[in-house]
């Protein structure tokens, strides 16, 4: 389905066949044709083989890839996919990755499908892959190891840390092969980025499901880059929940606990809920991959039954921190820069508070003194640069 969706989105079938032609594998044919699923047109890909397949291990497959004359990016990413798969299977079966026997995923059809998908991405000149949340279904699946629950154990190992969504259907919607491709090749997950859509492709599956059994690939260009004065600083994870039965006296304590546990920020927003009841929305900003402990704090301290989790891009100004001397003591000051020039200065509140209490002066007096000292220091730094210009 992955390969079919990319071919449907514009990857040339003959180009993919040409990339695959050098692999030291015999007795296979790549069949590509159009089918319909639920009234939607899609591309169906089948790898036809006529031989019994030997059991292969990771070193065997790596040797096949290296001997195939593949473009370097294709060979590199194909090895990465199979290595991810081997590590997941190794953890499930309690052996080392090199000793994992690939059964279904080591057959010629799986090798061709995986390398073909990587080749299609290469031919389409895709620079970044993003995933929507992966659908986790239920039931059982028959494989070389017997009857296994869905999601298969290897799938759960592979998708650690990736967003998922429940799918109330008894069928295998995410296979080990699909999971390995997805999590190895995707740089981020969580839904559509800002995108100018250029092509859309649908890959047809085989199983009959209550909905169209399709995988959709959306190709596009990123939105125009940010102005040079701004920069992206990776992604953050946003946690949100609505509270309507928490003692308001507890709110400051919850925020303190979250900040102490590593939250980048945490704040409360008043709102009106259904039936006109007042409520509070708790929002927590966390590092993209370091948020599990914050979920625990929220669930324990608020009594909420659930929360929303999403990833968002973050855009920030350049910043620097400096320390200035005032009549009331040293104060740290945060400086925001726009195109290399100072946009604003902001004294650190806790430093100003400590100085104000120590000298028994208004907080505003210390803050103003720190701002003036910072502006004077920055002006001194600018003078040599301006003289050189």
CATH number of the domain bearing residue 297: 3.30.70.1380
State residue 204's pLDDT score. Answer: 96
Position 313 scores a pLDDT of 83
The encoded tokens of residue 109 equal: 């059809």
Name the domain boundary from 290, 316, 342.
316
Residue 131 pLDDT: 86
Domain that holds residue 208: 2-222
Domain boundary among 281, 316, 351: 316
User: 324 and 307 in one domain?
Assistant: no
Q: Which residues contact 20 (CB under 8 A, 6 or more apart)?
A: 30, 68, 112, 115, 116, 119
- pLDDT for the residue numbered 209: 92
Inter-CA distances, 260 with 109, 235, 306, Å = 51, 21, 21
Does 21 share its domain with 85? yes
Give me the pLDDT at residue 109, please.
87
pLDDT score recorded for residue 245 = 82
pLDDT digit string, tens, across residues 294-352:
999 999 999 899 999 988 888 888 888 999 999 999 999 999 888 778 889 999 999 99
What does the pLDDT read at residue 146? Answer: 79
| The predicted structure's pLDDT at residue 113 | 94
Evaluate if pTM is beyond 0.85.
no
Task: Determine if the peptide bond prior to 151 is cis (ω within 30°).
Answer: yes
**146-149 and 195-204: which strand pairing?**
unpaired
Same domain, residue pair 108 and 146: yes
Instruction: Give yes or no: residues 41 and 169 share one domain.
Output: yes
Cβ atoms 219, 198 nearer than 8 A = yes
Query: 254 and 202 share a domain?
Result: no
Identify whether residues 132 and 70 lie together within a single domain.
yes
Q: Is residue 31 located within the same domain as residue 168?
A: yes
Cα separation, 42 vs 3, in Å, equals 12
For residue 84, the model assigns a pLDDT of 93
The DSSP H or E segment spanning 242 is strand 231-243
Q: Write the DSSP string, 347-362.
A: E-HHHHHHHHHHHT--
Domain identity same for 78 and 165: yes
Ramachandran angles phi, psi of 220, nearest 5°: -170, 175
Q: Which of 316, 344, 369 is the last residue of a domain?
A: 316
* 292/335 same-domain check: no
Q: How many domains does the chain have?
A: 3
DSSP string, 276-334: G-EEEEEEEEEETTB-HHHHHHHHHHH--S--EEEEEEEEE-EEEEEEEEETTEEEEEE
Same domain, 64 and 34: yes
Task: Name residues of the chain where pLDDT drops below 50.
Answer: none
Question: What residues have CB less than 8 Å from 385, skipping those under 6 apart?
Answer: none
Report pLDDT for 162. 85
Q: Is 184 exposed, middle or buried (0-12, 13-18, 19+ CB in 10 A)?
A: buried
Q: Which of 309, 162, 318, 339 is nearest to 233 (CA)?
A: 318
Q: Are residues 270 and 361 in the same domain?
A: no
Q: Are residues 370 and 308 in the same domain?
A: no
């Amino acid at each position: 389905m992955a390969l079919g969706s990319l071919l449907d989105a514009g990857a040339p079938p003959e180009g993919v066949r040409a990339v695959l032609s050098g692999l030291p594998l015999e007795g296979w044919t790549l069949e590509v044709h159009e089918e319909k699923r639920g009234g939607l047109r899609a591309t169906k890909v089948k790898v036809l083989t006529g031989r019994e397949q030997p059991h292969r291990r990771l070193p065997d497959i790596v040797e096949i890839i290296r001997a195939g004359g593949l473009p370097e990016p294709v060979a590199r990413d194909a090895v990465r996919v199979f290595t991810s798969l081997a590590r997941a299977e190794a953890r499930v079966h309690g052996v080392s990755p090199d000793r994992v026997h690939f059964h279904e995923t080591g057959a010629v059809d799986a090798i061709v499908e995986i390398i073909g998908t990587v080749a299609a991405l290469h031919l389409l000149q895709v620079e970044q892959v993003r995933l929507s949340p992966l659908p986790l279904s239920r039931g059982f699946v028959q494989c070389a190891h017997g009857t296994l629950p869905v999601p298969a154990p290897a799938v759960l190992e592979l998708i650690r840390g990736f967003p998922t969504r429940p799918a109330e259907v008894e069928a295998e919607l995410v296979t080990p092969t699909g999971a390995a491709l997805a999590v190895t090749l995707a740089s981020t997950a969580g839904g559509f980025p800002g995108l100018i859509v250029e092509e859309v492709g649908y890959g047809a599956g085989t199983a009959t499901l209550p909905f169209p059994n399709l995988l959709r690939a959306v190709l596009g260009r990123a939105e125009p880059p940010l102005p040079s004065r701004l920069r992206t600083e990776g992604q953050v994870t946003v946690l949100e929940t609505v509270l309507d039965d928490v003692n308001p006296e507890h709110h400051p304590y919850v925020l303190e606990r979250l900040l102490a546990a590593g939250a980048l920020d945490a704040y409360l927003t008043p709102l009106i809920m259904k039936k006109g009841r007042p409520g509070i929305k708790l929002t927590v900003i966390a590092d993209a991959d370091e948020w599990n402990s914050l979920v625990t704090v929220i669930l324990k301290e608020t009594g909420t039954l659930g929360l929303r989790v999403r990833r968002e891009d973050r855009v920030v100004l350049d910043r620097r921190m400096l320390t200035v001397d005032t009549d009331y003591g040293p104060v740290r000051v945060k400086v925001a820069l726009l195109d290399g020039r100072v946009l604003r200065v902001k004294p650190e509140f806790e430093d100003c508070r400590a100085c104000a209490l120590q000298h028994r002066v208004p907080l505003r007096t210390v803050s103003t003194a720190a701002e003036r000292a910072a502006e004077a220091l920055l002006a001194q730094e600018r003078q040599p640069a301006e003289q050189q210009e």
